[in-house]
Amino acid sequence: MTTATQPRGETRTADHPLAPHAGPLRRAARWWPAPLLVVLFIAPYSALPLPGLLDGPIGSPGNLQLLALCLVFGALATGYDLLLGRTGLLSFGHALYFAAGTYVTNTVMLEAGLPFALAALLGLLAGVALSAALGAVSLRVSGIGFSMVTLAFAQAGSILVQRDPGGVTGGEEGRAAPADKVPAAFVGIDHTANLYWIALAYLVVVLLVVHWAVRSPTGRVWEGIKENERRVEVLGLRPYGFKLIAFVLAGALAALGGIVYLLLTGGATPQTTTSDFTLSLLVMVVLGGSGTRWGPLAGGILYTWADHRLGDLANSGAVADLPAVLRVPLSQPLFLLGALFVAVIYLLPGGMARLPARLRAARTTTARKETTHP
């Protein structure tokens, strides 16, 4: 029987056991990230081993370093998805803003002798300013033209870093961060847990900012631009300004990630300036599921973990004992990573984030078949 307080088209029967509790259960389900966050927070205190996933206990310095990198790149992919998945902008220059946060922060500490906090603020502002300036130019064109312009800027930035103008970038070797300028709590293997918590804090900030931005009125316009930009123009809105906001916000989050990455690795290296770095972000987003809330995060974590762990597998004795026809390809980490990517693309169209929906659809189809043909 339908009551006056129920939505039209819905029927709640008294014999449905979950009917009276559907609302509270749904509200409780929204808070599932909270216990996961608690588990992540206490990970440095854990001595639990995860054979096959990690070497030794979770709380060991090496594993915490790997987990911190996974969190950083998961957050970075989530920020990049503001462009790709939310606004439909395929940028090949996102690495430039990540590198800006890393290099500007490190250079200011080395050359100007400023403390880390002030240098980090300047690095973040540099990332914002750079993304605003380059975004204002890149967004004058659309489609493949936009992608090519961002790629050109990224290549120019990478060449500039490797040319080492004035000796400030360190060229192909990069430059180590000055230990006397970085807070003592973030220096040394004994403080790896602190670095892990910094990475976790960065992840939380990115998730909150992206969630707020996507649910805001501006986020709804981004969705409209991705679906049909001409329709947004017809409604009297100017897509250029909204796209620039997405570009700058994603660039700011990337610059902040670069600062955290500087703490984790203890230096700035030119690998973070290349277009290959942005391609890695693209792979992370596609693996997880572009345009979804948790997909880019999952893709970034999986890609980073696989990038580090598959190298150990490729050099293991198990692979060395295989016949040459198997040993040669399996001894190449990039081959293993590429095979993983292809498998996910073919087996999980839409990324890992679509898997629960596909499983529910499969169960529903099976139940209907059983009902139709008992």
Calculate the alpha carbon distances from 171 to 113, 174, 176, 308 in Å.
20, 6, 12, 25
Which two three-digit tokens encode residue 27? 């509200």
Cα 222–Cα 301–Cα 147 angle in degrees, nearest 5: 40
Largest CA distance in the chain: 79
Tokens 């290099």 locate to 103
Q: If residue 230 lies in a helix (H) or strand (E), which one and from where to where?
A: helix 217-234
Residues 279, 90 contacting (CB under 8 angstroms): no
The CA distance from 175 to 170, in Å, is 5
Interacting residues of 221 by C-beta distance below 8 A, sequence separation 6+: 232, 237, 239, 242
Q: What phi and psi values does residue 136 have, to the nearest 5 degrees?
A: -60, -30
Least confident piece of the model among 33-37, 75-79, 216-220: 33-37
Q: What phi and psi values does residue 267 have, to the nearest 5 degrees?
A: 175, 175
Q: What's the pLDDT tens digit per position in 191-237? A: 899 999 999 999 999 999 999 999 999 999 999 999 989 999 888 89
Closest CA to 107 of 131, 126, 94, 135: 126
Please state the separation of Cα 358 from the chain's center in Å: 23
Tokens 């009297």 locate to 236
Average pLDDT over residues 256-284: 90
- Is pLDDT above 70 for 27? no
What's the pLDDT score for residue 31?
67
- Is pLDDT above 50 for 359? yes
| One-character DSSP codes across 97-108 | HHHHHHHHHHHI
Q: What's the pLDDT tens digit per position in 301-329? A: 999 988 887 777 666 666 666 777 666 67
Q: Average pLDDT, whole number, for the chain?
A: 85
**Cβ density class 230-258: b for 16+ within 10 Å, e for less:** eebeeeeeebbebbbbbbbbbbbbbbbbb
What's the pLDDT score for residue 12?
45
